């Protein structure tokens, strides 16, 4: 039996209860149409961080800081670099980091992710990607270079509102993103240097594990 909409509602309500202290951030995001990780994806991210215990984390797509705070709270020894291209969102994120008292462990870089990635030299244990879906291929090329051995990459929204699976309902303006996302998933599937799994969480999550 497949998961129903009622099952998803239950899972989201259950997962959402884990982050009552971040409810104001989620409510602000919903009211202002700012995309952040869905409750079940946030819960899974929290789980991955607790298990992996990454000391160096990179996030692509800060938005208003929701995911970065979850990562920081999940593991107190994690130091996070997060990238956001929208200066207004970046300023809101900084305020949220201060309120959550995690600003001393988060370095926010405001700029285009592709340009920032090219200049990063540190290696990271965990990389969380929740940014422009049409650029995942470009991000991937740079991310592999800075991923530590036994590092994990977590890609959010890889099914892009379900359009990646159901092409018939794709609006013309979204087709390019859908085609690029399909190409990206094909690249991941053919990359033998990474172990990849796709999970039906939120809008689709892909995980990569770098063994060597």
CATH code at position 196: 3.40.50.150
Nearest CA-CA partner of 128 in 65, 193, 186: 65
Burial class (CB in 10 A: 0-12, 13-18, 19+), 182: middle
Summarize pLDDT for 68-115 with one digit per residue, the tens: 999 999 999 999 999 999 999 999 999 999 999 999 999 999 999 999
CA 136, 174, 42, 184 torsion-angle sign: negative
Token pair of 196 as six digits:
């990849």
State residue 169's pLDDT score. Answer: 63
Interstrand relation of 56-60 and 147-156 (parallel, antiparallel or unpaired): unpaired
How many domains does the structure of the chain reveal?
1
Mean pLDDT of the chain: 89
* 58-68 pLDDT tens trace: 999 999 999 99
Handedness of CA 71, 72, 77, 80 (dihedral sign): positive
The CA-based angle 87-89-94, given to 5 degrees, is: 95
179-195 pLDDT, tens per residue? 888 899 999 999 999 99
Domain interval for residue 169:
5-210
More confident residue, 8 or 80: 80
The pLDDT > 90 percentage for the chain reads 69
- 3-class SS at 186? helix
pLDDT of residue 1: 47
Q: 31-35, 78-82, 147-151, 171-175 — which is least confidently predicted?
A: 171-175
């Amino acid at each position: 039996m497949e998961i129903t909409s009622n099952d998803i509602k239950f899972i989201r309500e259950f997962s959402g209860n884990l982050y009552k202290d971040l409810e104001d951030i989620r409510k602000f995001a919903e009211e202002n149409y700012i995309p952040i990780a869905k409750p079940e994806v946030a819960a899974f991210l929290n789980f991955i961080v607790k298990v992996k215990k990454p000391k160096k984390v990179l996030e692509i797509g800060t938005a208003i800081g929701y995911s970065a705070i979850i990562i920081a709270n999940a593991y107190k020894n994690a130091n996070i670099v997060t990238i956001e291209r929208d200066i207004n969102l970046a300023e809101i994120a900084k305020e949220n980091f201060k309120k959550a008292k995690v600003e001393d462990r988060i370095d926010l870089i405001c700029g285009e992710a592709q340009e920032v990635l090219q200049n990063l030299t540190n290696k990271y244990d965990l990389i969380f990607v929740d940014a422009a879906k049409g650029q995942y291929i470009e991000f991937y090329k740079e991310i592999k270079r800075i991923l530590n051995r036994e590092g994990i990459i977590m890609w959010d929204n890889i099914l892009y509102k379900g359009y990646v699976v159901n092409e018939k309902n794709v609006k013309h303006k979204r087709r390019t993103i859908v085609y690029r996302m399909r190409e990206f998933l094909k690249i991941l599937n053919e990359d033998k240097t990474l172990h990849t799994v796709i999970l039906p969480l939120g809008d689709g999550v892909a995980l990569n594990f770098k063994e060597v």
